[in-house]
Structure 1
């Protein structure tokens, strides 16, 4: 599993940052990509990666501000000519998204050659998506803005080959059959497969925020707790906590202080204001611990499974 930043800027694109779009690469797991937000030019951004639009089967929009959605109609239209024919797509987002996309495609004379389904998200809901559990949480912004929490299912533990050999089953194709079944028989005895498996490997948890002020409610922190990767906005990087609050955004140290109450493996700060140049970013990045980093366009982060 990998997380790729297609755009890491806030508000409007700059020479070095496009606005917010991400790819959750789960090709190794289920042969698909999830697209989270679709900033202007996202279809062009994808051309600079190995992502195949036809393998994007689900799009998740955090909120309806332009820097998060202006690229969606273009992506939908391009996908129709990039292997997406007859391959369904589901788009998740706040109320109004379906109407806006539909009107844009209609007025522009765009015709899709695949079915598209819209899911209107709401606060504190859970959705089953390709075996993943996806939870939504309403954030604190000028419009309804959501966090998506992607929970991967746990993976079966490894077969205890020594234990199988002890009952007379030697390595071979039967091992795969055993692991895929609840019980198996050998020598006239029926065994529970679970007795021959190691501890299950926990699924990964990725919490991706839309624009928001810092959230401190216990329910929110509990939901984010245990994330392998948190993606959070940091429009303000240096001490302007009050200003960030006024404009319904977040300041980086305030976020870190808030998350000191929970456990997580890594946090990625994105949605960076254009006021900060490369020297600013390098200087601020040096003040962060190993668990935190500031996003740049085309950054890739590998999210490993951690065995118990």
Structure 2
């Protein structure tokens, strides 16, 4: 599993940062990509990667501000001619997203060669997506803005070959059959497969925020607790907490302090304002140490199992 940053900037792009768009790469797990937000120039960003649009079958939009959706119509149109013909797409997002896309396509006389299904997300929503559980949580922004928590299913533990040998079953294709079963028989005896497996491996969790003020509710922090990767906006740097709150955004120190109450693997700070130059961002990163990473375009983070 990998997390790929196609755009790391806030509302206005800069020479080094496009506006916000991400891909959760689960090709190794389910041969797909999950697209999160669709900033302007998204289709061109994808051309600079190895991502295949036809393998994007689920899109998650955090909120309807332009810097998060203006690239969606172009991406949908390009996908139709990049191997996506006939491959259904599901788009998750706030109320109004379906209407905006339909009006845009009607006025521009655009047509697709694959079906789209829209899912209108809600606070505390839960969705089954290709075996993953995806939870939506309403944030605190000027418009409805959501966090998506992507939770991988747990993986079966490994077979204990020593135990199987003890009852007379030697290694071979039978092991694969045993692992897929609930029970198995050997020499007239019935055994429970679970007795021959190590404990299951917990699935990974990645939480991706839309734009938001700081949220310190216990239920919100409980959902984030144990995440392997938290992606959170930090539009404002140190000393700008009041301005961040005024404009429904977050400030870096507030993010770090809020999340210090839970356990997580890595924190990726995104939605970086174009007001800050590289020298200032480098100074902030030095102060944070290993607590967090400030995103840059085309950054790729590998999320191994047991990364917490």
- TM beyond 0.5: yes
Task: Report if aligned partners of 1:201, 1:307 keep a CA contact under 8 Å in 2.
Answer: no
Long gaps (5+) in structure 2: none
Task: Tell me the number of residue pairs that the alignment of Structure 1 and Structure 2 aligns.
Answer: 308
Deviation at 1:105, TM superposition (A): 1.2
Q: Within 5 Å, which residues of 2 pair with 1:6-25?
A: 6-25=6-25
Structure 1, residues 104-156: CA drift from partner, whole Å, max 9, x if none? 11111211101100000011111111111111111000000000011111000
Task: Report if aligned partners of 1:10, 1:235 keep a CA contact under 8 Å in 2.
Answer: yes
| Secondary structure of 2:287 counterpart | coil
Aligned equivalent of 1:251: 251
Q: Within 5 Å, which residues of 2 pair with 1:90-169?
A: 90-169=90-169
Long gaps (5+) in structure 1: none
Deviation at 1:307, TM superposition (A): 8.5
Determine whether 1:178 maps to 2:172.
no
Distance 1:146 1:156 in 2: 31
For normalisation by structure 2, the TM-score amounts to 0.98
Superposed CA RMSD: 1.0
Q: Within 5 Å, which residues of 2 pair with 1:1-308?
A: 1-306=1-306
Deviation at 1:166, TM superposition (A): 1.1
| Secondary structure of 1:287 counterpart | helix
Distance 1:49 1:307 in 2: 25
Task: Report if aligned partners of 1:202, 1:307 keep a CA contact under 8 Å in 2.
Answer: no
| Secondary structure of 1:190 counterpart | strand
1:295–1:307: structure 2 CA closer, same or farther, 3 Å change rule? closer
Task: Report if aligned partners of 1:93, 1:119 keep a CA contact under 8 Å in 2.
Answer: yes
| Secondary structure of 2:148 counterpart | strand
Deviant stretches of 4+, over 6 Å:
none
Structure 1, residues 247-275: CA drift from partner, whole Å, max 9, x if none? 00000011100111111111000000001
Deviation at 1:291, TM superposition (A): 3.5
Structure 1, residues 229-256: CA drift from partner, whole Å, max 9, x if none? 0000000022200110000000001110
Structure 1, residues 181-211: CA drift from partner, whole Å, max 9, x if none? 1111111111111001001100001110000
For normalisation by structure 1, the TM-score amounts to 0.98
Task: Report if aligned partners of 2:228, 2:307 keep a CA contact under 8 Å in 1.
Answer: no
| Secondary structure of 2:282 counterpart | helix
